[in-house]
């Protein structure tokens, strides 16, 4: 079985009920394994068995459910702004004209009321426009009928078509409620026009309901576009044309034609089109849109540049390492889009409610009509209350409450160099109680330097360093880099090590110049039963990390390296403690190397000399006590601990973005990113709860108010056009509240 994944743009969804119907349809389709419909982006992400289903079959299934879909383009480009649902300027124009016509219709309908219902406004209008009251009532009624019918067909056609399609397929959505509400009001008004006489007509309500709905959709479209702006910004970071150096000189070619190994030329003021290594020139670059680092960075020969970064002041030529979908920028964009389309646990409440929302509202509308007719014997009020109930109900607000906040927050995090992998990860990060972290590369710079070599009698210092460099030459560990860099600084050369075997958390073994080499910590030596001579002290000086070395089962010396704290680590640890989090260090280094670092950071709990499995055990022990714990590490040696933790945070620059094991990727190797991720997650959960509270509360309060339950006691009742305005405002307010996260500044760290 070949599992395939596809994202299908879905056309015609208007509310959470639509989202639920499309999702249910896809899940019922043959060969579909999972389906997730994103109301914010109007897309469906489907995993299916390629031998049992096809993209065309999935599109057809969506069409059969009353909606439309298209097979996405296959050019591999970043999804630009044209792919996202935008505010339609035509909808804005229709909304404005329809609302204006509704207001005029309201004024024109005032003479149609009965003498008993005339109030101060009617008397004022009669004095202001006596000619209006001189027009025969039948002319006014028929004129309003014609204008309303024409505008309803012109402006409301998409609404009625959507409702009809849903009805044809045995479904209901928000457009069903609006269509029924305006339909009941229009039919009642037509009947009143035909029979003549004085009495209420609701032509103005029909126009205002449609106008407010269109206005709400237009504002909602603008807010959606703003919420999705982070990915739009990423999409615009790449140039369309690239300057490539060929044998005939420099030529401009399309970005999609660039291949790995090409030599591209980037002039000052241009964006880097690829990930590559500079071969000539020197410049400063701005990587803030990728990593959140606002300070320009110097880049010269041999240094790496990332696609999308801005070249400030120097012309450089870079050899392409990654192009197209392989660039860090494309990986970030994919991760952000997938995360924004994920579903948070908090959304389940809205999902359950949206599945039954519209049928329940239809039932309440029927009860409202019958109640007014039976108890009050008032057909006019029965119609008005029924229409108000139908149009005030808003499933959109519930459907957008969580995904709107999630979309904005993940986009904002990406702008700050923090990639959160979806709604579930975000909620876990928000609920953390403890943070445990590795030392090297997380709290320290991760670039230890060799500061001393101790050699036992009978061995030479340079010989020991040469053989250690041969063993460590292909290792990615920071201590390995320290050994190799020190050997190169002395001008040493070495051959190729054989049978290299890395033992995570301890060291490595290899064969170098015919000798069996062991290089690692004290635990590795004791594991291999390597004796320590009496004149050798096993403990390094405080703050030093010691690598022991043995030849053919005999200890020959050790190499001492020292790392330094990251400049922001102290302030970050202080913020975490102030935020109520327990902070603990887990490291494979010795206690003598770890404790000075922990003391400088104010970390009281330190577990040293740990192997990767020990870190996992410590996290499990904390979880057994009911503690929600995050693990922060480099994403390689700490992969198992990152996976075990309630939330794993992987430090790094994004070079191996797709392979990271964490729930959160910190593009800058900066401890401040931990604080940013936790602070943003907590702020987002607050906004989610506010949105859900508003959406549920709006409907709980609005529907009874529209039904007239307060009328007997307080004579308070919403008119249909007031209900329409409230409905339009409800979903827009949820989006506007979510957009506050776009300006979230991050935690303030002392110092």
Backbone φ, ψ for residue 450 (5° rounding): -70, 125
Q: List the Cα angle 313/316/321 in 5-degree steps.
A: 130
> Is pLDDT above 70 for 163?
yes
pLDDT band, residue 651 (cuts 50/70/90)? confident
Q: Of the candidates 689, 727, 91, 211, which has an alpha carbon nearest to the alpha carbon of residue 431?
A: 689
Q: How far is CA 552 from CA 301, 536, 549, in A?
A: 41, 18, 10
The dihedral of CA 165, 168, 173, 174: what is its sign? positive
Helices 347-371 & 379-392, crossing angle to 10 degrees? 170
Residues in the chain: 751
pLDDT band, residue 65 (cuts 50/70/90)? confident
Give CA–CA dist 308/497, Å, rounded: 39
Q: Half-sphere exposure of residue 357, counting CA atoms within 13 Å on the CB side? A: 34
pLDDT at res. 421: 86
CB–CB of 522/545 below 8 Å?
A: no
Give CA–CA dist 37/24, Å, rounded: 10
DSSP state of 533: P
pLDDT at res. 536: 61
- SS3 at position 626: coil
pLDDT at res. 77: 46
pLDDT at res. 189: 87
Give CA–CA dist 658/325, Å, rounded: 11
CB–CB of 475/508 below 8 Å?
A: yes
Q: How far is CA 349 from CA 16, 129, 234, 686, in A?
A: 12, 53, 32, 16
Segment 299-328 shows an average pLDDT of 88
Q: How far is CA 86 from CA 225, 339, 512, in A?
A: 6, 20, 64
Residue 697: Cβ-neighbour burial (10 angstroms; 0-12, 13-18, 19+): exposed
pLDDT at res. 551: 93
Q: pLDDT tens across 671-694, in order? A: 999 999 999 999 999 999 999 999
Q: pLDDT tens across 235-291, in order? A: 678 888 899 998 888 899 888 889 999 999 999 989 899 999 999 999 999 887 777
Q: Where are the beta strands (DSSP E) in 573-621?
A: 582-586, 605-607
pLDDT at res. 244: 93
The mean pLDDT value of the chain amounts to: 83
Range with the poorest average pLDDT among 24-33, 279-288, 328-337, 568-577: 328-337
Give CA–CA dist 204/720, Å, rounded: 9
Give CA–CA dist 738/407, Å, rounded: 9
> Is pLDDT above 90 for 484?
yes
Active site members: 438
Start-to-end C-alpha separation, the chain = 56
Give CA–CA dist 420/340, Å, rounded: 9
DSSP state of 494: -
Give CA–CA dist 31/61, Å, rounded: 12
pLDDT at res. 294: 67
Give CA–CA dist 651/631, Å, rounded: 11
Q: pLDDT tens across 180-200, in order? A: 989 998 998 898 888 775 567
pLDDT at res. 134: 61
Helix (H) and strand (E) counts in the chain: 25, 26
The residue among 158 and 109 whose pLDDT is bigger is 158
pLDDT band, residue 115 (cuts 50/70/90)? very low
**Percent of residues, the chain, with pLDDT higher than 90:** 29
Segment 312-328 shows an average pLDDT of 87
Segment 471-483 shows an average pLDDT of 86
The residue among 225 and 521 whose pLDDT is bigger is 521
3-state secondary structure 264-322: EEECCCCECCCEEEEEECCEEEECHHHHCCCCCEEECCCCEECCCCEECCCCEEEEEEE
Q: How many angstroms from the chain centroid is the CA of residue 155?
A: 34
- SS3 at position 459: coil
> Is pLDDT above 90 for 595?
no
The residue among 117 and 505 whose pLDDT is bigger is 505
Q: Of the candidates 614, 663, 613, which has an alpha carbon nearest to the alpha carbon of residue 635?
A: 663
Residue 194: Cβ-neighbour burial (10 angstroms; 0-12, 13-18, 19+): exposed
pLDDT at res. 78: 43
pLDDT at res. 699: 86
Give CA–CA dist 709/717, Å, rounded: 8
pLDDT at res. 1: 60
- SS3 at position 148: helix
pLDDT band, residue 76 (cuts 50/70/90)? very low
Q: Of the candidates 521, 476, 508, which has an alpha carbon nearest to the alpha carbon of residue 652?
A: 476
What are the contacts of 658-663 at 24+ separation with CB within 8 A? Answer: 658/331, 659/635, 660/635, 661/635, 662/421, 662/635, 663/420, 663/421, 663/422, 663/425, 663/428, 663/429
Segment 306-320 shows an average pLDDT of 89
CB–CB of 435/722 below 8 Å?
A: no
Q: List the Cα angle 432/435/440 in 5-degree steps.
A: 150
- SS3 at position 231: helix
Contacts of 277 by beta carbon, 8 Å cutoff, 6+ apart? 302, 303, 304, 305, 318, 319, 321
Q: How far is CA 723 from CA 385, 386, 388, in A?
A: 10, 11, 5
Order the strands of the 304-305 sheet from edge to edge.
249-254, 241-246, 263-266, 316-322, 275-280, 304-305
Give CA–CA dist 729/723, Å, rounded: 10
């Amino acid at each position: 079985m070949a599992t395939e994944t596809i994202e299908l743009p879905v056309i015609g969804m208007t509310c959470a009920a639509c989202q639920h119907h499309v999702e249910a349809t896809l899940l019922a389709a043959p060969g579909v394994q999972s389906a997730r419909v994103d109301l914010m982006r109007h897309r469906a992400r489907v995993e299916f068995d390629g031998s049992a289903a096809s993209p065309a079959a999935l599109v057809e299934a969506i069409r059969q459910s009353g909606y439309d879909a298209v097979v996405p383009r296959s050019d591999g480009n970043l999804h630009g702004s044209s792919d996202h649902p935008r505010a339609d300027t035509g909808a804005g124009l229709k909304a404005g004209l329809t609302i204006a016509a509704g207001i005029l219709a309201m004024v024109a309908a005032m003479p149609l009321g009965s003498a008993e219902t005339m109030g101060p406004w009617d008397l004022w209008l009669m004095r202001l426009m006596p000619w209006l009251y001189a027009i025969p009532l039948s002319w006014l009624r028929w004129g309003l009928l014609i204008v309303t019918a024409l505008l309803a067909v012109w402006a409301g056609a998409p609404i009625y078509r959507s409702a009809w399609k849903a009805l044809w397929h045995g479904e209901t959505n928000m457009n069903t409620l609006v269509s029924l509400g305006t339909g009941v009001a229009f039919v009642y008004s037509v009947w009143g026009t035909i029979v003549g006489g004085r009495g209420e007509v609701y032509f103005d309500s029909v126009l205002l309901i449609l106008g407010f709905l269109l206005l709400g959709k237009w504002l909602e479209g603008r807010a959606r576009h703003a919420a999705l702006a982070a990915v739009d910004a990423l999409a615009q970071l790449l140039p369309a044309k690239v300057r490539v150096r060929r044998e005939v000189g420099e030529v401009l070619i399309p970005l999609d034609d660039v291949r790995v190994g090409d030599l591209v030329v980037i002039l000052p003021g241009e964006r880097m089109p690829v990930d590559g290594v500079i071969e000539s020139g020197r410049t400063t670059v701005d990587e803030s849109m990728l990593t959140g680092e606002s300070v320009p960075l110097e880049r010269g020969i041999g240094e790496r540049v990332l696609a999308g970064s801005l070249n400030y002041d120097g012309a450089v030529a870079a050899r392409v390492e990654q192009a197209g979908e392989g660039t860090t920028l494309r990986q970030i964009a994919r991760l952000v889009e997938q995360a924004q389309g994920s579903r948070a646990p908090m959304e389940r409440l809205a999902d359950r409610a949206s599945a039954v929302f519209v049928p329940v509202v239809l039932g309440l509308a029927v009860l409202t009509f019958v109640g007014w007719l039976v108890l009050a014997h008032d057909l006019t009020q029965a119609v008005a209350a029924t229409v108000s109930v139908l149009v005030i109900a808003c499933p959109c607000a519930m459907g957008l409450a969580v995904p709107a906040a999630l979309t904005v927050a993940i986009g904002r995090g990406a702008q700050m160099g923090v990639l959160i992998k979806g709604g579930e990860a975000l909620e876990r990060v928000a609920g953390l109680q403890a943070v445990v972290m590795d030392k090297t590369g997380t709290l320290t710079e991760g670039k230890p330097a060799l500061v001393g070599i101790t050699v036992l009698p009978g061995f030479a210092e340079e010989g020991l360093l040469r053989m250690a460099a041969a063993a460590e030459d292909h290792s990615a560990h920071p201590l390995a880099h320290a050994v190799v860099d020190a050997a190169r600084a002395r001008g040493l050369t070495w051959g190729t090590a054989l049978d290299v075997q890395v033992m995570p958390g301890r060291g490595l073994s290899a064969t170098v110049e015919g000798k069996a080499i062991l290089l690692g910590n004290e635990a590795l030596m004791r594991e291999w039963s390597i004796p320590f001579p009496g004149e050798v002290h096993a403990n390094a000086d405080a703050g030093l990390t010691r690598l022991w070395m043995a030849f053919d089962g005999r200890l020959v010396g050790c190499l001492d390296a020292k790392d330094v704290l990251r400049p922001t680590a102290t302030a970050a640890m202080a913020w975490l403690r102030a935020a109520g989090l327990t902070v603990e260090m887990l490291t494979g280094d010795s206690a003598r190397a770890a404790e000075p670092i922990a003391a400088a950071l104010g970390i009281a709990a330190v577990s040293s000399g740990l192997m990767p499995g020990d870190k996992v055990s410590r996290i499990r022990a904390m979880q057994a006590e009911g503690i929600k714990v995050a693990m922060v590490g480099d994403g390689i040696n700490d992969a198992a601990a990152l996976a075990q933790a309630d939330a794993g945070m992987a430090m790094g620059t994004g070079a191996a973005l797709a392979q990271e094991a964490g729930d959160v990727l910190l593009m800058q190797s900066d401890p401040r990113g931990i604080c940013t991720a936790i602070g943003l997650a907590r702020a987002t959960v607050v906004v989610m709860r506010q949105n859900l509270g508003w959406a549920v509360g709006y409907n709980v309060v609005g529907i009874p108010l529209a039904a007239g339950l307060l009328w007997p006691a307080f004579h308070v009742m919403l008119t249909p056009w007031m209900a329409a305005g409230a409905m339009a405002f409800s979903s827009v307010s949820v989006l506007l509240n979510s957009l506050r996260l776009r300006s979230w500044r991050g935690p303030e760290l002392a110092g």
